Structure 1
Amino acid sequence: MPAARSLWRHRDFMLLWGGQSVSMAGTELSALALPFVAMTVLSASPLQVSMLSAIGYLPHLIASLPVGAWLERRRRRALMVWCNLCQAVVLGSVPLSAAAGVLSFTQLCVVAAAATLLAVVFDTAYQSYLPTLLHGDRLVEGHGKLGVSMSFATVVGQGGAGVLITVIGAARAVAVDALSYLVGAVSLMLIRTPEPPPPPRPVGSRLRTDMAEGLRYVVGDPLMRPVVIANAFVSAAIGGVWALWIVYVHRELGWTAAETGVCMAVSAAGGIAGGLLVRRLAERLGLPRLMLLAVTGYALDLVPTLVAGPGTGGYLLVTVGHCLAIALQMLYITANRSFRQFICPPGLMSRMNATSRWLALGCKPLFALLFGLLATWLDLWTALAAGVLLFSVPTAVMIASPLRSLREVPVHPGHVLRS
């Protein structure tokens, strides 16, 4: 790729990318550390671990729509800085309370909810902010590099989490996540690219009508609708099985925290490969076809876990299978985000992202509880098997949509396409 077009020389993108890579690594650390805090420090049951997961998802259901409409009226970078600073404070309370001997399951639930509420604001602003820095084919490349960051974050965060939990304990490991948010905040403060002011709202515009307009667009657009519905089913299945997967490999397959972290870290190499290949594959296949191919990675992800047994052979089977599935999932995530941003009118970008996240992530609390009850009434294996079936639905949704015959992206004319 010519140097003039390389994002490696884009100072502000590199600041955004580097700072958020550190922050995402901390987030992935807590994704493993918080359930282990519940299990090892507070002796939580599988249902309680699912409840913790559900409470952590609840702010997406409550806050995503109003946050999206509110962000259309605000500059995003300053809000992102404040969110990172507040997340550092909230998560820092866990190791402090544990050290004082006053940590409770209730506090852990409050921390999960508060951190997620701040993440709702940050992530909605973050997805809408990237087109401020990048345009055209650079946007796809930028999403690919951010996808690499997500996988790198899993390598460092969850791999490091297993080691940190073993060495210093799960509660103290959360402190590293708190520090990572401070790094993210500083990197955002150093960006120089001026952010344009938000577009003026129509006279008489209200938050409620803005929310409704965003929802009507997402549900009514024939190309946006199947993508968002597929995302909703993906998120529902993730919400249902993620916490239970950790419990299953810990209690049924006998994995330690370190072994779980190493599995996740090694598997994330697939995500790094997917993020690096996405631009080339998008140019060859087109974003719509790439999404159709890559969404199958979710249904394939849990199969190795279901057939594996305890021991080295089962551990390797799960890790290799997860690595291949993560590669496909990263291709899907990157193509999906780029596709949605290309076809969305610029004036609806924050509301589109917020509505998509509301439909996708808002269902996670319900499915986390449903799968927790299923694991309690039946067993963990059956609950994970049900997750495989739920993960198959997004593929069917996208095959039944106009995306199956679409080769090129119908870019909205309001976007500036330049290198």
Structure 2
Amino acid sequence: MLWRDRDFLKLWLGQTASVFGSQVGGFALPLVAIMVLEASPASLAALRVADLVPGIVVGLFAGVLVDRARRRRLMILADLGRALLLLTIPTAAFAGFLNIALLAIVALLVGTLATVFDIAYQAYLPTLVRPERLIEANSKLTGAQESIEVVGFGLAGAIVQAVTAPGAILVDAFSFVVSAISLGSIRAPDPRPSGSGVEAGWASRLPAREQIRRGVLAEALDGLRFVGRDRVLRALTVSQAAEQFFVQMFVVVLMLFLVRELDLTPLVIGLLFGIGGASSLVGSIVAERVARTFGLGATLIGSFGLYRLTTLLLPLAGGPWWLALLLVGGSQVFDGASIVFAIHSRSLIQRITPDEFLGRVNASMRFVNWGAMLTGTVVGGVIAETVGVRETIWVGAVGGIFATYWLIASPIRGLREA
């Protein structure tokens, strides 16, 4: 039982606190722009772009760093850096010089550190738990995160209304400090990865000295090659990239849609998102059982497709207040399906990828996915400005469904063992 593993428990506690803070901060940041600075759809898109750019610009190189350095140390430094950066938002609001440009700069820098942390985190977990425990570990970590989401969004809405959106950012900053302390208390060794991870094939035939001399860019490209040549990793990457392109088209204007078109308050929005948290918690609990019953391939494809179908309820929301609440809440009911997919896809990647490549594989997949997210964000902002917010949500919701094809047309379809 992983609950008896003190080091895993410390990781679990730290990440649970961090997730709660990030939900409050992630909920509050666009509201700072909308309610304090009266941001337009283009400004919100610019803010979202600033958050996504680091995943593309520094993602591949962060993967090389993660495969060279002590991963837990990188995570601690990233946590502390994000805490300091977020403190500038309430400070600027109090001093009276908060603006969209400052929010974008903070989002850009926080996103850079988040990229390093997330890649290191995915690569660190397999060094802390045994391979046969990865699904259990990912389920427990995800379950805790989704338990927080059940009440987190509701609390986030209440906090924003009580202390204003800039004040709510303080909760996020404090949570990163808690995460850093928890990571620092782990006693298990924090080893450097076993090597540069030269891919089996042409690179492994190079003399050892030449392998060492290979530059950072070459090592980063090794990660992309590894993903591109593995049919399972390639299918997961392409399907998620296609999904994220369309999803981000409406995510960038979702808060605008809920606040201005549906006239929902932050507290109500938080409570509606809490429905998704409850569903996600259920998903994290049943994920192992679902895969044992239906097989890994069917679980991945079915959960991915089901979640995408339910987003069609969002652009339908409108009319009487009760109908709007019913449709927005209904779109959250099957969020658990996305968690089932996330747990099993993450565990599958961790199992089939060699440790010395894990940082770069995660970074490469993130690079492709975040490139799609950035493109979708820009396209969504343009469509919203020229056609309309609701129409943008329609395009994103319908388009995301077709991303399931890449999973169906891959070897993932035949996977049985979870």
TM-score by length of 2: 0.93
Equivalent of 1:52, from 36, 39, 47?
47
Equivalent of 2:164, from 152, 160, 169?
169
Match of 1:345 in 2: 354
Letter in 2 for 1:372: G
Question: Does the 8 Å CA contact 2:292/2:417 hold for their aligned counterparts?
Answer: no
1:404 Cα offset (Å): 1.5
Match of 1:71 in 2: 66
1:147 Cα offset (Å): 1.5
Letter in 1 for 2:269: T
Give the whole-Å Cα distance in 2 for the aligned partners of 1:266 and 1:115.
Answer: 28
1:267 Cα offset (Å): 1.9
Give the whole-Å Cα distance in 1 for the aligned partners of 2:269 and 2:258.
Answer: 8
Match of 1:35 in 2: 30
1:252 Cα offset (Å): 1.1
Letter in 1 for 2:253: L
Question: Does the 8 Å CA contact 1:55/1:365 hold for their aligned counterparts?
Answer: no
Matched, 1:387 2:382: no
Judge which range, 202-211 or 180-189, deviates more.
202-211
Match of 2:115 in 1: 120
Give the whole-Å Cα distance in 2 for the aligned partners of 1:144 and 1:368.
Answer: 30
Match of 1:230 in 2: 239
Matched, 1:332 2:341: yes
Letter in 1 for 2:85: V
Give the whole-Å Cα distance in 1 for the aligned partners of 2:309 and 2:148.
Answer: 22
Match of 1:219 in 2: 228
Match of 1:151 in 2: 146
1:312 Cα offset (Å): 2.0
Give the whole-Å Cα distance in 1 for the aligned partners of 2:122 and 2:408.
Answer: 26
Equivalent of 2:94, from 92, 95, 99?
99
Cα distance change of structure 1 residues 297 and 153 upon mapping to structure 2, 3 Å threshold: farther
Match of 1:320 in 2: 330
Question: Does the 8 Å CA contact 2:156/2:267 hold for their aligned counterparts?
Answer: yes
Give the whole-Å Cα distance in 1 for the aligned partners of 2:147 and 2:251.
Answer: 19
Give the whole-Å Cα distance in 2 for the aligned partners of 1:281 and 1:217.
Answer: 29
1:405 Cα offset (Å): 2.2
Equivalent of 1:357, from 349, 366, 370?
366
Question: Does the 8 Å CA contact 2:248/2:396 hold for their aligned counterparts?
Answer: no
Q: What is the aligned residue count?
A: 403
Structure 2: gaps (5+ residues): 197-210
Matched, 1:276 2:278: no
Give the whole-Å Cα distance in 2 for the aligned partners of 1:234 and 1:146.
Answer: 24
Per the alignment, in what secondary structure is the counterpart of residue 78 of structure 2?
A: helix
Question: Does the 8 Å CA contact 1:15/1:191 hold for their aligned counterparts?
Answer: yes
Please give the per-residue CA displacement for 1:293-338, whole angstroms capped at 9, x wherever unaligned. Answer: 11013422322222222412320332133122x1100001111101
> RMSD between aligned alpha carbons?
1.4
1:99 Cα offset (Å): 0.6
1:282-297 pair list within 5 angstroms: 282-297=291-306
Identical amino acids, percent of aligned pairs: 32
Question: Does the 8 Å CA contact 1:87/1:181 hold for their aligned counterparts?
Answer: yes
Per the alignment, in what secondary structure is the counterpart of residue 231 of structure 2?
A: coil
Judge which range, 238-247 or 18-27, deviates more.
238-247
1:403-418 pair list within 5 angstroms: 403-408=412-417
Give the whole-Å Cα distance in 2 for the aligned partners of 1:348 and 1:113.
Answer: 27
